[in-house]
Amino acid sequence: MTIADTAAGATADATGSGAPALSGAPALHFAGVRKRFRDGTVALTDTDLTIRPGEFVSIVGPSGCGKSTLLRIASGLDEATDGTVDVASKNVGYVFQDATLLPWRNVRDNVRLFAELEHLDSVERGRRVADAISLVGLAGFEEHLPHELSGGMRMRTSLARSLVLDPSIFLFDEPFGALDEITRERLNDELLRMFMLRRFAALFITHSVAEAVFLSTRVVVMSGRPGRVKADLAVPFDYPRSPHLRYSAEFAALCGEVSHHLRSES
Amino acid sequence: MSVTVPSAVETDATGDAAAATPAIGATPPRPRSRRRGAGLVSFVLLPGAVFAVFIGIWYAVSDGVLNDQQRFMLPPPHEVVRVGFLDWSNFTTMMSALRLTCEVTFAGLAISIVIGVTVAVAMSQARWIENSLYPWAVVIQTVPILALTPVLSFFFGFALTSRIIVCVIIAFFPIVSNTLFGLQSVDRGMHELFSLHHTSRLTRLWKLQLPAALPSMFTGFRNAAGLSVIGAIVGEFFFKQGEPGLGTNLSVFTSRLEGERLWATTLTASLLGVAVFVFFGWLARRVVGRWYQPKRG
């Protein structure tokens, strides 16, 4: 099945059902994954993690604990040294830490890139590009070049580029880490809006505990190098989540719990 | 659970997109416009001052250092202008030589660009190709042209073809090295975008590497353009059969001790070099200036 077919199927699913589907086969499954680099550093050891369709899972952990490596393995950019990785769909979106836009392409042409690489036909491509651009709130900025955009807008363009393929699994590698607090919170709100619209399974890496709790159905805490899963906490808040959730006592308590796990030795 | 989705437009109106609008609005503060204000001083007055000093030294050497018998080596500037440019018959001779030198220059440059870019693209595709070819590209550029003239004349005669080949030998290396550098300096993250979608080499080359390499390619073209003028003149200097070019005339005027025409021809050749250099600078700004701002200083 081509990616275009998968994407069309996923769209039909998303418009058909109401609440997130938390059952069924895992979207993403890591079993006993270990990663040892050529220089001998062990980045990951005995990592088990399952993400089911409709789940939004965030990973927090100290720098160098192999969080990014986990995403790179899931996307096929890297291979695991040991263990198995099952990815349910070939249609995986990947948003990097940097927006990595092609500087000679304007917003529209950057958003179109993946659709070109996957050989979508031009009518379908045009429709999806326009949809994605309006979904990330960049309508009217199609002709702008990356160097004319703010950091937040560059990241929106990067999101739109992946949204065009309507992936059923989305990998985020600290996408908002370089943005200011206000822009980051706004993009968090919008990311959740996209999550409810498109119903992808998400694996999201961040350094911010609050961001992890605000976005996720589950927060996974990883240990320092070599990385492995140290704690796995469910987040009980319903979607849609209001920005005011960030100021509630329950939210603060859960953030405290995640921080505690981050700091604990074992 | 009911899911209400706020509209994109609503969020956008208060979003950072809106906050950022002034920055990209009607009159963005462009660093270039500030430089244009200072342009008169930096690009006209300063080089003009250097030119005045240069002419002053010229007069000093011509009138002060050289005696009447030696003055043919460096006649004063006004004599060069009078004999070399204002004498009609001398002027037309020079213009027809200039036309011929231009033909050699542009033919040589065009061939250099085709060969240079092709070789660099081939090198960028496999390390073994790069390792096999790069040393020889360096060697070709360091071989003294003088040593090649007998061989070239044996195969290609003493006329236009040999002149163009000399031009290519002198001009093509900067195109190879700059294009290769550009193709190999593409950001790793951008490569990974293409790897995620299992892109073919050809698509990667066409949609990523070549556009990303354009700024350095133009640097190479510009340097090669200056060198191809030199190459054309050196070629004409050695291969004198057929119509004379500027290089042919340089050698003729040297042997006839016609200092005025020698220096007029030299100035014309330099101006041709400057013209092609400036043209490629302009072309580069037209093609990549929209998205590529070279770092200054």
Quote the CA–CA distance of A155 and A149 in Å, as a whole number. Answer: 10
Pick the residue from chain A with its C-alpha nearest to B211. Answer: A104
DSSP string, B222-265: HHHHHHHHHHHHHHHHH---SS--HHHHHHHHHHTT-HHHHHHH
Distance, in angstroms, between A135 CA and closest chain B CA?
A: 6
- Split at pLDDT 50, 70, 90, the class of B295 is low
Pick the residue from chain B with its C-alpha nearest to A132. Answer: B8
Among B1, B9, B11, B12, most A C-beta atoms within 10 A, so best to mutate, is B12
Give contacts of B8 with chain A, Cβ < 8 Å. Answer: 134-137, 139, 193
B21, pLDDT greater than 80: no
- Measured in degrees and rounded to the nearest 5, phi and psi for residue A213 equal -65, -40
Beta carbons of A227 and A61 less than 8 angstroms apart: yes
3-state secondary structure of A62: coil
Q: What is the mean pLDDT of chain A?
A: 87
ipTM rounded to 2 decimals: 0.85
Establish if B202 touches chain A: CB-CB under 8 angstroms: no
Taking only the tens place, the pLDDT of each residue in A38-50 is 888 888 888 899 9
A117, pLDDT greater than 90: yes
Give contacts of A141 with chain B, Cβ < 8 Å. Answer: 17, 24
Check CB contact under 8 Å for B196 and A240.
no
Region A76-99: mean pLDDT is 91
Pick the residue from chain B with its C-alpha nearest to A93. Answer: B196
> What structural domains and CATH numbers belong to chain A?
25-91+172-263 (3.40.50.300)
Q: What is the pLDDT of residue A25?
A: 84
Taking only the tens place, the pLDDT of each residue in B250-276 is 999 999 989 999 999 999 999 999 999
Quote the CA–CA distance of A219 and A222 in Å, as a whole number. Answer: 10
Establish if B4 touches chain A: CB-CB under 8 angstroms: yes
- Residue A77 has its nearest CB partner, among B190, B195, B288, at B195
Q: Of chain B residues 182-201, which have a CB less than 8 A from chain A?
A: 187, 189-190, 192-197, 199
Check CB contact under 8 Å for B24 and A139.
no
* Residue B252, CA atoms < 13 Å, CB-side half-sphere: 17
Check CB contact under 8 Å for A137 and B17.
yes
Taking only the tens place, the pLDDT of each residue in A2-34 is 444 343 333 333 333 334 445 568 899 999 898
Quick one: CA dihedral B254, B257, B263, B264, positive or negative? negative
Pick the residue from chain B with its C-alpha nearest to A101. Answer: B190
Quick one: CA dihedral A147, A150, A156, A158, positive or negative? positive
Q: Of chain B residues 216-255, which have a CB less than 8 A from chain A?
A: none
Region A97-124: mean pLDDT is 94
A170, pLDDT greater than 80: yes
Pick the residue from chain A with its C-alpha nearest to B10. Answer: A137
- Split at pLDDT 50, 70, 90, the class of B17 is very low
Q: What is the pLDDT of residue B35?
A: 52
Q: Evaluate if pTM is beyond 0.95.
A: no
- Residue B11 has its nearest CB partner, among A113, A152, A190, at A190
B46, pLDDT greater than 80: yes
The two beta strands, A82-87 and A28-36, are antiparallel
Q: What is the pLDDT of residue A32?
A: 87
Q: What is the pLDDT of residue B142?
A: 85
Taking only the tens place, the pLDDT of each residue in B73-90 is 899 999 999 998 999 999
A219, pLDDT greater than 50: yes
- Split at pLDDT 50, 70, 90, the class of B37 is low
Region A180-198: mean pLDDT is 91
Q: Element (H or E) spanning B8, and its range?
A: helix B8-14
B205, pLDDT greater than 70: yes
Taking only the tens place, the pLDDT of each residue in B96-147 is 999 999 999 999 999 999 999 999 999 999 999 999 999 998 888 888 888 8
Higher pLDDT, B64 or B211: B211
A129, pLDDT greater than 90: yes
> What structural domains and CATH numbers belong to chain B?
80-288 (1.10.3720.10)
Residues in chain A: 266
- A 10 A CB-CB count for B186 gives 18
Region B195-223: mean pLDDT is 95
Q: What is the mean pLDDT of chain B?
A: 85
- Split at pLDDT 50, 70, 90, the class of B22 is very low
Q: Which residue has the tokens 């609050």?
A: A210
Quote the CA–CA distance of B265 and B271 in Å, as a whole number. Answer: 10
Quote the CA–CA distance of B221 and B219 in Å, as a whole number. Answer: 6
The neighbouring-strand residues paired with B162 are none
Taking only the tens place, the pLDDT of each residue in A240-263 is 899 899 999 999 999 999 999 998
Give contacts of A125 with chain B, Cβ < 8 Å. Answer: none
- Split at pLDDT 50, 70, 90, the class of A266 is low
Check CB contact under 8 Å for A137 and B211.
no
Quote the CA–CA distance of A22 and B45 in Å, as a whole number. Answer: 73
Q: What is the pLDDT of residue A23?
A: 55
Higher pLDDT, A171 or A32: A171
Higher pLDDT, A123 or B141: A123
Give contacts of B289 with chain A, Cβ < 8 Å. Answer: none
B30, pLDDT greater than 60: no
A221, pLDDT greater than 70: yes
Establish if B63 touches chain A: CB-CB under 8 angstroms: no
